[in-house]
Structure 1
Amino acid sequence: MKKYLLFFVYLFLCFTFSSYTSHKTLKTIKLGFIPLTDCAPLVVAKEMNLFQKHGVTVELSKEASWANIRDKILSGELDGAHCLFSMPFSVYTGIGGKAGTEMKIAMVLSNNGQGITLSKDFCGLVGFKEYNKVASAVKNIQTRKEVTFAMTFPGGTHDIWLRNWLAACGINQKSVGIITIPPPQMVANMRVDNMEGYCVGEPWNGVAAIQNVGFTHIASQDIWKHHPEKALVVNSEFAKNNREDLKKVMKAILEACQWLDNMSNRKKAANWLTKPYYVNANLSVIETRLLGSNDLGCELGVQKYKDDYMTFYNNGFVNAPRKSHAIWFLSQYVRFGMMKDIPDYKAIADKLILNDLYEEVAQSMDIPLPKDDMKPFKTNLETITFDPNNPSQYLQLAKK
């Protein structure tokens, strides 16, 4: 009798342990996103059951603003999110959050595909990429009202594209207003004349053009071709304690990125993105700009991009997070007076970018690892070469 009792106790313990480990494995991972076209890797991974394929249960959470994304990643309410590549550096340095708080970059999700939209006030004064005419147009408009530009998060990618563009236009950033507005609210705010221009991701540049609210003046790939844009950013404790689950999430997203860079798949992706619970915007705008065709508005015609449209994989070039890019963004914070003190560039990059994790995942999937990190590069609107090993030299030249 005692033997039978022990046997049943043994079975009970086995069942309990099995249920516990099964429950632990099936923990739902929560990933946030902002309704933008470049949230596509997360959407595709969800719609194609790629998360499930790689052994994780993932819930996607549509968020209202980048500040929401920041707060929820830091609190652990979100395990990770589709996020501005530069946000972790902005938050850590105290520009866009509490200094010293850490958000980790696991991988890059996209290159290119953002834009600067100008209001109809500029129509006829400035054309596509005619940034040499912007300063005089701004002065013209300032004779009758203040000129304000909007971006999406202090120290975020859109903020830095905007400030780089202003510098290239010869406009002192202090001579105009710069405000923060969440991406989905850009068009509505321009419609009621809250600003004369904004920098944001698609589809909100295309929506302004099709609704005759504004026109696309320049795309971000015209500012810096193949720049890092969105990243998979994760809670630091999640990255530390759930490394294997994070690797599975990354594998699913990388597979989605590969699928997205087959251009024949982008119409299907646009159909998913247009849904109310994702981007909830005009299908034709999402689709055409995903395919590299931008109807600019203001009777400027259509601009077609051949190799520098929004990319998600590009044979692995897109997805590797680079420390040199982190150092570039940190140097921009110094350049534009957003930071008073010179940061420890490399230490911050080392702390916030999970290079070893990405390399491990990429190698397991036979994805090529780019060999350009920490090498000098130059953006489109600058004549100065940026050397990530010597950002102080770049800053001295940029001030001249």
Structure 2
Amino acid sequence: MDQDALAEFAAQIRAEYEDLKAKNLKLNLTRGKPSAEQLDINNELLHLPGENFRTQDGTDVRNYGNLKGIIDIRQIWAELLGLPTELVYAGDSSSLNIMFDLISWSYIFGNNDSPRPWMDEEKIKWICPVPGYDRHFTITEHFGFEMITVPMLDDGPDMDAVRELALDPLVKGMWTVPVFGNPTGVTFSEQICRELAEMETGAPDFRIVWDNAYAVHTLGEEFPEVHNVIKMADAAGNPNRFWFMSSTSKITFAGSGVAFFASSPENLAWYVSHASVRGIGPNKLNQLAHAQHFGTAEGVRAIMRKHAASVAPKFDAVLDILDERLGGQGVATWTRPEGGYFISLDVVDGTAARVVELAKNAGIALTEAGSSFPLHQDPNNRNLRLAPTLPPKEEVEVAMDGVATCVLLAAVEKLGA
């Protein structure tokens, strides 16, 4: 725009923003939580496991024991993930808890390939693809790791950068969300998976946390292929490289589902050596309830199609409004995920925090700018994570129209208009 057109446009956007504030909204797009409609899909779980307290192998789940988890739910999840059942363990509700344990035990004791505990190293470095999952970064921040960012591309992390960093013996691992990633929605290609499995590392105890939190969270009818990176790594001579996670947290009830840990036999033995000290066994009643609720792997997929029917219209609404309000303006780009829980929005450099501030003042809560980066430090101050799943579609539409106004206002402010 020339200066006159820009001044006229800026006046229009400021007027729209004042109208937005006058609505006294109270809307929230901060966290990727299931909606009440999604939670209702699984209300049958509240009445399970019913009168049958025994697993298919005859174990009474009301008693102690079985650190691996019950075979009934492990078989279902192994089929979903395309892994052998013997390599899949079932735990309690949170895969994030298992990730924290794995990092903690490696820090205190070293893992099964460590020459020494990680806390005895001169320094610990960790690879963090960005934009990425904030709770991952919080764990490595908690232990004082130096977090090194690499760009997330359309098919996975920038492997040239990853390969170079991995050669440093002080680099002990890497965070990943390989399917419908948080917040970009990117799914790693088979080639990227293979390169991660085969690449050379400087540290013998290098680990990739393979957090498949969204492995079945499609927005359509089709489900992505889950690549067997454990098999890839074993064939490459790196059998212990992957710590593979999954859970039911956004499939059934958040915070009261079942988490899964899959890895090599040696890694699983190391895990049990510590987990058996921490506790006697997981909540097997809950595991049996989930197994009865799902029935089969196809039963899980059927439930996920119901989730998609609830969630997809909200994602469509966000994308339609972004296209209509910001398309062609040159002030923003955004992802078009085929699954997961988020849309990643990049605004004019230097304005993301201002967009969040403007939205807050208008009654729209957004995730803090920089949240998808280690230490919440986005060097370009451009990325925002949108989470449209929790509110009703009508509220999503009102909120996103307001967010678009805030993006435009921050842009004209940046231009001095």
Same fold (TM over 0.5): no
Point out which structure has higher relative CO (alpha carbons under 8 A, 6+ apart).
Answer: 2
TM-score by length of structure 2 reads 0.28
**TM-score normalized with structure 1 length:** 0.29
